[in-house]
Amino acid sequence: MTQDNLPLGAEFPTPDLEDWKTLVEKSLNGAPFDKKMLTKTFEGFSLHPLYTRADEAALPVSEGLPGFAPFLRGASAEGASVGGWEICQEINHPDPKEAARQALSELEGGATALLLSLDWITQSGLNQACFGEGTGLAFDGVFVQTLADLRTALEGVHLDAAPVYLNAGHSFEAAGLALTALWEEKGIAPEQARGGLNADPIADYAYGGTVIVTPERALARLGQLAAHMAARWPNATTAQVDGAVYHSAGSSESQMMGAMLSTGVAYLRAMEAAGLDATRAARQITFSIPMDADQFLGIAKLRTFRRLWGRVLEACGVPENERVIRIAAKTAQRMLTERDPWVNMLRTTVSTFASVVGGADSITITPFDAAAGLSTEFARRIARNVQILLKDESNLGRVIDPAGGSWAVESLSEQLAQTSWDAFQSIEREGGIVRALEGDAFLSSIRKTCSERQSAIASRRIPVTGVSEFPNLREAKVETLQPDWDTLEEEALGRMSAAARTTRELLDALDGKTSPTDDVLKAVRAGAPFLPVTNRLTDSNQEDIRDGLDVVRLAEGFEALRDNADAWKDEHGSYPSIFLVTLGPVAEHTARATFAQNLFEAGGIEALPGGVLETADDAVAAWKKTGARAAVLCGSDERYEALAADVARALKQAGLPRLYLAGKPDTALQDAGVDAFVHMGCPVFDVLEELQMCLGVYPADDQDEGEE
């Protein structure tokens, strides 16, 4: 027998948000709701634990429909459900022949596009005289100096089927035109050529260092190159605004997106000055957004950026159907760790999920071992397969805008839009991104945000799994590729010098050119090397040095401490150590002993277990057997009250140099001999650095300086 109408909820009152909050506050035992339940971001707004329809009603802008303004829900109506997204893998082996093999392996394994990163020498744009033979300055880049090198690096790649994007730094003009020359060689029709030159001279300027060309001249060259590309290669792009320079320097998402918007505007102006209208200029620009492991913020920033750039193009008079933006999502370098790099697989999976859900058109995943060196084939395969699994097995692309209708994501997107637009307007009030980079306010704001984040990492309020939390002293370092950098660089510089000699007349013809695009194309077709071409187009003596942004990885501070400890182990045969003075039964001391072990081993200080210690004599005897020069008391509050002071005095009288207690500071225990206290929220990095100093654990460079 069945009953058709069974009102299961009719007898229960309808709860509301205040009812829920009241119950939560009871469970917090008097702790403030806002402090415990709200998460503060570096943008300055709060993330709530629960969102309701009321949050949606409060939003000033409707999220609209996929493919329509304000483009929150995607740039196209079908999302990724038809063609999916581009699986774009970076090629960076220094040997052009090996790079070609790497490229084909990626494409055969499921990649659909390639990002070719050129060597540091070419990207730097510095005069060749700055380099000697075998300087070892290249890092993560293919030694592509000429069209012949580019031909070698892309040997076997069907350029009409697989888009190729470049990362050429200051040499964007010569390298980019060499790519178009290769398209011509292959007989690729103009409308079939896809890919991008990814010129981003403002990002190169933001990094600082030697100024090889003024931003004004670089922008003029970019505009001329874009006009050339728009006329000859309509489906390829010229510029890519890359947020990585700001993100890697520690910026907030709002600061990064504000800078990207201002950079995009600067490129629009440069292209319009070269003869393109706003609509045609907008087609020449793509955006690269770094994605870290903050899933919801990652989704929100892709949605938000589409909306904001659409608003910029609207103000420029671009029709709605032409405001479609192309976003390339790429792994955020600052989140990758060298220690316990296997966790990077989880980080990149989360960032890829967020990229797909947020509507990225192209995704590039950095292999998990990249922070340790040049990635192996295994690591590259894992990076590629993350996307393939999400696409073909998880069917992630089959849902159009999965985040649509999420009150949390919509609210977060709105807040991010407001703070990012404010950052954009602030930069524009300074005169635009170039003036902001030359001033102090913008760079100082990024450094302040970076400092705040690093402080949160140093106290482990932001944990870095495998590094500051759950470290493994016994982990084996991953094996990375070890090419003969010096030999490859020497050969590349030799090829460059030979090519420069045979094309000297063409290079000389570039001097003083104000509209050099056709001349550059002629030179690179004839084999002129990219770096000398770039040198001829500069207007600087290459001696001007400016203070720019630095690359900061979140884990690098703790990893430096681990490096110190490893060097100590290599010299002494074992890690520096600390003795765990575990008071009372296992059930009483386990929690704090585990906390202390986790904390000290994050700095490479091995925690030596003490067993069950019931008296001060037991503690002193157990400590003396270890030979450790530091110890930490671990036990329950009750055990501390009964025993900690006696144990502390006994250990100090026995000659222990450094004593910690796992728990909150206590004046009486400090008087008894405890030197410092470690607890949740304490400045962990400072504690570890100080302990390394006390134990004499210094990096080799510091030792050498001390001896001098």
**Which residue, among 141, 138, 98, 139, has the nearest Cα to 116 in the 3D structure?**
141
Question: Which residue type occupies 684?
Answer: V
Vertex 244: Cα angle to 239 and 246 (nearest 5) = 110
Burial-class residue 572 by CB neighbours within 10 Å (0-12, 13-18, 19+): exposed
Segment 131-137 shows an average pLDDT of: 42
pLDDT at residue 397, as a whole number? 85
Segment 180-197 shows an average pLDDT of: 95
Lowest mean pLDDT among 398-402, 433-437, 512-516, 637-641: 512-516
Alpha helices in 39-95 (DSSP H): 53-57
Judged against a pLDDT cut of 70, whether residue 5 lies above it is answered with no
Cα torsion angle, 32, 38, 39, 41, sign = negative
Q: Residue written as tokens 């009750």?
A: 638
| Integer angstrom CA distances of residue 385 from 103, 388, 390 | 15, 5, 8
Contact yes or no for 488/94 (Cβ under 8 A): yes
Q: How confident is the model at residue 607 (pLDDT cuts 50, 70, 90)?
A: very high
Judged against a pLDDT cut of 50, whether residue 640 lies above it is answered with yes
Q: How confident is the model at residue 30 (pLDDT cuts 50, 70, 90)?
A: confident
Interacting residues of 150 by C-beta distance below 8 A, sequence separation 6+: 144, 175, 178, 179, 182
State which H helix or E strand residue 409 sits in.
helix 407-429
Judged against a pLDDT cut of 50, whether residue 674 lies above it is answered with yes
Q: At what angle do helices 441-458 and 684-695 cross, to 10 degrees?
A: 70
Judged against a pLDDT cut of 60, whether residue 702 lies above it is answered with no
In whole angstroms, what is the distance from residue 692 CA to residue 493 CA? 43
For 511, the token pair is 């001097």
For 591, the token pair is 């929690």
Lowest mean pLDDT among 69-83, 190-204, 356-370, 422-436: 69-83
Segment 135-159 shows an average pLDDT of: 84
pLDDT at residue 127, as a whole number? 67
**Which residue, among 273, 230, 178, has the nearest Cα to 514 in the 3D structure?**
273
Cα torsion angle, 364, 369, 375, 376, sign = negative
In whole angstroms, what is the distance from residue 125 CA to residue 212 CA? 7
Lowest mean pLDDT among 3-17, 216-230, 438-452: 3-17
Torsion of CA 201, 206, 209, 210, to 10 degrees: 30
Judged against a pLDDT cut of 70, whether residue 543 lies above it is answered with no
pLDDT at residue 211, as a whole number? 79
Judged against a pLDDT cut of 60, whether residue 706 lies above it is answered with no
pTM of the predicted model, to two decimals? 0.92
Judged against a pLDDT cut of 70, whether residue 130 lies above it is answered with no
In whole angstroms, what is the distance from residue 365 CA to residue 372 CA? 16
In whole angstroms, what is the distance from residue 583 CA to residue 639 CA? 7
In whole angstroms, what is the distance from residue 96 CA to residue 104 CA? 12
* Strand intervals (E) in 253-406: 285-291, 327-331, 362-364
pLDDT at residue 42, as a whole number? 83
